[in-house]
A and B are shown apart, each in its own frame.
Chain A
Amino acid sequence: MSNAKHNDSLLRFMTCGSVDDGKSTLIGRLLFDTKSILADTLTQMDRTSKKRGLEAVDLSLLTDGLQAEREQGITIDVAYRYFSTGTRKYIIADAPGHEQYTRNMVTAASTANLAIILIDARKGVLTQTRRHSFLAHLVGIPHIVVAINKMDLVDFDQATFEKIKADYLSFAEQIGLQRAGRDIQVVPLSALTGDMLVDRGDAMDWYQGPTMLEILESAPAAHSEQNEPFRFPVQFVCRPHASDDPELHDFRGFMGRVESGEIAVGDAVTVLPNGYTSKVKAIQLGEEQLKTAITEQSVTLLLEDEIDTSRGDMIVKSDQAPEAVKQISGMVCWLSETPLSPARTYVIRHTTRESKAKVGEIEYKVDVNTLEQLPTQGLAMNDIAKINFKLAQPLMVDSYSKNRATGAFIVIDESTNNTVGAGMII
């Protein structure tokens, strides 16, 4: 808020914690200490705090939910918050930590590049810490920050911190977080007093590592640090049909977003699933002509040759084509109150492409608390299982661990049009 700098980056992160771990207080303080809460909101929070008999402003009020939730005393959904430090803009996905809301965590995690996992310093690593870590891992969040909160309640004791840190790292080893190349940092803090959040404070001089905000400021904005292959799902084809304009007469622009990798004018490309090959003639963004386009950029590609292409096709570099498959196997999180019915046909949306799909086999389901693999016939809301699907149309896929954009899919129930499942291709 305090700075109007333009050339900065954006980081999406999520917070996970069980009820009362201090998630709302942490978010509230981040916003407060970065001066992102404006006066009228503060006044209103102050008023509500006083009404509830509190002495100081309760920062957790900032993330207080909707009326429907307040009535039921629960948070039912992912809420998004924003703040900016002048060097970076942040989008926080705030997902409630209740057991029954695995689906919300998975939803929030799907767009996050960093997860803050809260641990109450008095309690240490709990079942829910394991669950949150497993889910963050499953959905491929590259940066994990373990925030050991409420340090003020354990006298800012270093030994307590070191023990919880060691416990966590050994658990992380078990579930393969380090092996998968995840970046894990552990930071002691007090969301209530603000120590080690934005300011270091003076209660924990024994801690030499970065503060929470420093970690956020320096985390890479890119989802993957690897060089990923170029993937360009076609969203829309632009054919102006301007017969009177010689420049536009044959214009055929393939519009989409670079989901991964990079492309440059002159690159050899293949259009899937048909396999036609051509070269990139031009890359446009509005009236601008670009020489290259990078990951997450929305552009229009023009090709040298006239190729019949429509929404759902994928443009790739000819030497990095993905597989076109009619069967996929993936970890699926069930999102709907209506259980999965193995007999039914569903629609799978993958990038801009859709296919009818039938459940082949449910190999096992995962107990998100013990991480045990259990046999199962069906799938209910919040279950996570390994499932095979048979597809009516080929999809051009990569494994989720290699490519988040072309490894992810959603399952749609055509009778209600609801999104009922979220899948990650193995």
Chain B
Amino acid sequence: MMTTANKTTLSHLDWLEAEAIHILREVAGQCSNPVLLFSGGKDSLCILRLAEKAFRPGRFPFPLMHIDTGHNYKEVIEFRDQRAAELGERLIVRSVEDSMKRGTVVLKSEDESRNKHQSVTLLEAIEEFGFDCCIGGARRDEEKARAKERIMSFRDEFGQWDPKNQRPELWNLYNARSHKGENIRAFPISNWTEMDVWQYIEREKLGLPSIYFAHQRDVVMRAGSIVPVNVPLASGEVINQPKAGEEIINMQVRFRTVGDITCTAPVISDADNVTKIVLETATTTITERGATRLDDQTSDASMEQRKKEGYF
């Protein structure tokens, strides 16, 4: 009863690429004022490449936007600006620090992570520009609460994600409609895994911020995680001072994900090029978030909670 394959089909990377291009073009076709969230990180760099394949020789039908916590690695910020300039596309930067000045973000303490406060700044920017869709690089394999995320995810006027009020998504007939004030989050690489991302970076020869590759760094061990210390920002300020009694170790590390400095941990690695990273990813025993996120481990449901509050 087995039928044999007599048709040519796409390889898995080609298929994922084709799907993502299709999603980006649906956003462009259905939404009137979309924006692409671009952090300079590996997932969003893949999406930029996909956008090139989707829209060149035309310009992108959306600007790029970064919500900057002010606590990003300067290597990443520099790379972000360089990439946007090379592409000749418009980059909007909105910063959590501005929300703090406006009083819409209030930190509980000086050293509280600003990561979760990005939601506020994002919503303010959405309102400022009237965006009806934000394209992001989230993947379903990242975390449990993402496994059920739609490719076109609906957010209400408060930016909230209600898991029970999502549109069924059938075939590749995406519904990105929204009323004024509401918002769609579109995830073109939903079906990609961390491995797919690295394979795509390798195949497309994409450049990355240097901190993705093995480098020497001062760190301390804190509650079982590697925490980078004395990190200089683009502004010249130095953050993440070691706490009293902590011993500074100089280690060879790389980042698997580059977010806010205060909540992204590196892993020990000597992978100094993409091929080595692909190999390391194939044999790693720890999930991307498990290894590198200092903020998701509090509870099983912490990501779900943050998404309900409007987090990306």
Q: Mark A78-103, 1 if CB is under 8 A from B, else 0.
A: 11111010001101000000000001
Residue of B nearest to A224 (CB): B7
Interface residue? B195 (CB, 8 A): yes
Residue of A nearest to B14 (CB): A297
CA distance A84 to B15 in the complex (A): 15
Q: Mark B267-288, 1 if CB is under 8 A from A, else 0.
A: 0000000000011011111110
Provide the residues of chain A in CB contact with B8, threshold 8 Å: 294
- Contact B171 A111, beta carbon cutoff 8 Å: yes
Q: Mark A168-187, 1 if CB is under 8 A from B, else 0.
A: 00000000000000011100
Q: What are 30 A-B interface contacts by the 8 Å CB criterion?
A: A4-B195, A4-B199, A4-B278, A4-B282, A10-B10, A39-B286, A67-B300, A80-B147, A82-B141, A84-B193, A84-B195, A221-B9, A222-B5, A235-B25, A236-B25, A238-B57, A240-B59, A242-B57, A253-B57, A295-B9, A298-B17, A298-B53, A335-B168, A349-B173, A349-B175, A409-B173, A410-B171, A410-B173, A417-B175, A418-B167
Interface residue? A50 (CB, 8 A): no
Q: How far is the CB of B83 from chain A (nearest CB, A)?
A: 16
- Contact A8 B12, beta carbon cutoff 8 Å: yes
Interface residue? A326 (CB, 8 A): no
CA distance A39 to B22 in the complex (A): 35
- The contact of A286 among B3, B15, B52, by CB within 8 Å, is B52
- Contact B58 A240, beta carbon cutoff 8 Å: yes
- Contact B54 A298, beta carbon cutoff 8 Å: yes
Interface size on A, residues (CB 8 A): 81
**Known interface pairs A222-B7, A298-B21; A77-B199 also in contact (CB < 8 Å):** no
- Contact A68 B163, beta carbon cutoff 8 Å: yes
**Known interface pairs A4-B195, A77-B163; A225-B3 also in contact (CB < 8 Å):** yes
Provide the residues of chain A in CB contact with B140, threshold 8 Å: 80, 82
Interface centre among B2, B6, B283 (most CB of A within 10 A): B2
Interface residue? B103 (CB, 8 A): no
- Contact B2 A218, beta carbon cutoff 8 Å: yes
Interface residue? A330 (CB, 8 A): no
* Interface positions of A from 281 to 333, Cβ below 8 Å from B: 285-287, 294-298, 311
Q: How far is the CB of B140 from chain A (nearest CB, A)?
A: 5
Q: How many inter-chain residue pairs (CB < 8 Å) link A and B?
A: 210
Q: Mark B148-169, 1 if CB is under 8 A from A, else 0.
A: 1000000000000001101111
**Known interface pairs A38-B284, A240-B59; A107-B168 also in contact (CB < 8 Å):** yes
CA distance A4 to B12 in the complex (A): 12
Provide the residues of chain B in CB contact with A239, threshold 8 Å: 58
CA distance A76 to B140 in the complex (A): 17
Interface residue? A220 (CB, 8 A): yes
CA distance A259 to B159 in the complex (A): 33
Instruction: Categorize the interface residue count of chain B.
Output: 35 or more
Interface residue? A167 (CB, 8 A): no
Interface residue? A123 (CB, 8 A): no
CA distance A208 to B284 in the complex (A): 35
Interface residue? B294 (CB, 8 A): no
Provide the residues of chain A in CB contact with B281, threshold 8 Å: 4
- Contact B3 A183, beta carbon cutoff 8 Å: yes
Q: How far is the CB of A244 from chain B (nearest CB, A)?
A: 13
Interface residue? A9 (CB, 8 A): yes
- The contact of B304 among A38, A66, A185, A408, by CB within 8 Å, is A66
Q: How far is the CB of A288 from chain B (nearest CB, A)?
A: 9
Interface centre among B12, B53, B287 (most CB of A within 10 A): B12
Q: How far is the CB of B272 from chain A (nearest CB, A)?
A: 17
Residue of B nearest to A297 (CB): B18
CA distance A250 to B7 in the complex (A): 36
- Contact B12 A89, beta carbon cutoff 8 Å: yes
Interface residue? A64 (CB, 8 A): yes
